[in-house]
Amino acid sequence: MTMMKDTIYSAPFLQEMLDTTSNLYRLGWDERNGGNISYLLNEYEVLPYLNVDNVKRTVPMNFDASALAGRYFIVTGSGKYFKNVKKNPSENLGLIRIHENGRSYEILWGFEDGGEATSELPTHLMNHMKRLEVDKNHRVIMHCHTTNLIAMSFTHSLKEEELTKTLWEMCTECLVVFPEGLGVIPWIVPGTNAIGEATAKKMEEVRLVLWPHHGIFGAGTTLDETFGLIETAEKAAEVYTMVCAQGGKQQTITDTQLQELADAFDVTPRQGILGL
């Protein structure tokens, strides 16, 4: 068993989590414990590195995740600082399995100081359930405090079509990376089922959901893809911030050009945004 415990540190999914959390902290998007990640793992990915019959603790949830019963996740911990994840993974991360009753989860590795999964776990699970209905390959939910997107939520219209259009205009790649645009929910207290339900409803159609004055939620197939999705939207928000600071737009990518871009890359822009 000691050898197996040591082996998990060579697991690709753990190394990916260490790299991703480090990058999110480096970019200033996850100050303190300001963010969370959950990564759905297949059993065959876990078995070479962990004895899945050795349950450390079982933690109750106030949410029914029966649709994910028996599924494995590696998740960030509640109150854990992203800057500490890489140097001490076993305290700041945990590998969990959703109990067959759907109302609790089993800790198989990690959270060694008595910690638990992120307080946003119900929100993550709701959104995993929704995205799996849309695309069975979607395995990552990522939440972080992207600085310029948060700033835009104070100064820009929060109408999804208008916000999406602005981001598409700021960087040519944006329409290609998120042609479905982004969703926006009202301000809601975090860590509640209400914010999870509102986000999951948006995730029926989009992979990016803005929490105004708080941060962004992203979904994707891999940690790299999901990080890249958020990174692209945040870069566009940063350009928008600079454009405003320089006095505003004097020219932009036109609707016709955006449609030409969509045609060239074989993507379908969200309806109701391009005035063509």
Residues of each annotated binding site: 143, 145, 214
Closest CA to 173 of 65, 253, 243: 253
Answer yes or no: 180 catalytic: no
Closest CA to 199 of 191, 209, 189, 213: 209
- Nearest-Å Rg of the Cα atoms of the chain is 19
Considering 116, 120, 160, 169, which one is annotated as catalytic?
120
CA–CA separation, 216 and 35 (whole Å): 9
CA–CA separation, 93 and 38 (whole Å): 10
CA–CA separation, 70 and 125 (whole Å): 13
CB atoms within 10 A of CB 242: 11
The annotated binding site for Zn(2+) is made up of 143, 145, 214
φ, ψ at 141 (rounded to 5°): -125, 130
Say which residues have a Cβ less than 8 Å from residue 125's Cβ, sequence separation at least 6.
38, 63, 65, 68, 98, 196
> Is 89 in contact with 18 (CB distance < 8 Å)?
yes
> Is 141 in contact with 218 (CB distance < 8 Å)?
yes
Cα dihedral 88/92/95/99 (nearest 10): 150
Closest CA to 204 of 131, 102, 125, 112: 131
Q: What positions carry a catalytic annotation?
A: 120
